[in-house]
């Protein structure tokens, strides 16, 4: 299954949390107070796009249809500034956690939004964040244990 036209807005509280009788925080409301000090201003020189994929009936979860056991690492060079774009082709949220590096979330127009460890990707959402390569071999995975164990996991090799 592929999403034909994923949405990029960051102000959707998510399924079952829309139009309820109280405020639900969303990513468009988050700000980093220390952006000027800590957040890298360099533009990315490369983009890596991956689809979050799965099969609900067989309970298989993967990235680009490839489970961890069959996957090769995602390669980033030391100190390389890279834009990672995730497209969620599934009907579930996936909180994607990248170890070793900050995930600098971008708005749909590419501006800096907020700095995070884990980025939740909603169903049919396309979301981008920038990272700077820190030397190491890092885990990158969905933080839902059953998804991670079922294959939604990659090594990010910064060597």
Tell me what percent of the chain is helix, strand and coil, each rounded to the nearest 5. 10, 40, 50
One residue of 147, 151, 154, 156 binding Cu ion per CB under 5 A = 147
Q: How many CB atoms lie within 10 A of CB 33?
A: 7
Q: Which residues, including other chains, have CB under 8 Å from residue 12's CB and lie 6 or more apart?
A: 18, 26, 122, 125
115 binds Cu ion (CB under 5 A): no
Q: How many CB atoms lie within 10 A of CB 21?
A: 4
Nearer to Cu ion (CB atom), residue 51 or residue 147: 147
Nearer to Cu ion (CB atom), residue 101 or residue 119: 119
One residue of 142, 150, 156, 158 binding Cu ion per CB under 5 A = 142
Q: How many CB atoms lie within 10 A of CB 69?
A: 7
Nearer to Cu ion (CB atom), residue 121 or residue 158: 121
Closest by alpha carbon to 96, among 16, 153, 31? 153
67 binds Cu ion (CB under 5 A): no
One residue of 94, 126, 141, 154 binding Cu ion per CB under 5 A = 94
144 binds Cu ion (CB under 5 A): yes
Task: List contacts with Cu ion (CB under 5 A).
Answer: 94, 142, 144, 147
């Amino acid at each position: 299954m592929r999403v034909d036209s994923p949405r990029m807005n960051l102000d959707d509280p998510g399924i079952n949390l829309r139009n309820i009788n109280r405020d639900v925080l969303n990513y468009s409301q988050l700000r980093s107070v220390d952006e000027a000090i800590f957040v890298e201003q360099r533009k990315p020189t490369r983009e890596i796009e991956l689809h979050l994929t799965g099969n609900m009936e067989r309970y298989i979860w993967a990235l680009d249809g490839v489970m961890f056991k069959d996957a090769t690492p995602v390669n980033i060079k030391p100190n390389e500034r890279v834009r990672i774009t995730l497209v969620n082709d599934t009907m579930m949220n996936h909180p994607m956690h990248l170890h070793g590096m900050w995930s600098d979330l971008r708005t749909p127009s590419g501006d800096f939004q907020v700095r995070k460890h884990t980025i939740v990707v909603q169903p049919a959402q396309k979301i981008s964040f920038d990272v700077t390569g820190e030397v190491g071999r890092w885990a990158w995975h969905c933080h839902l244990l059953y998804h991670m164990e079922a294959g939604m996991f990659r090594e990010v090799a910064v060597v």
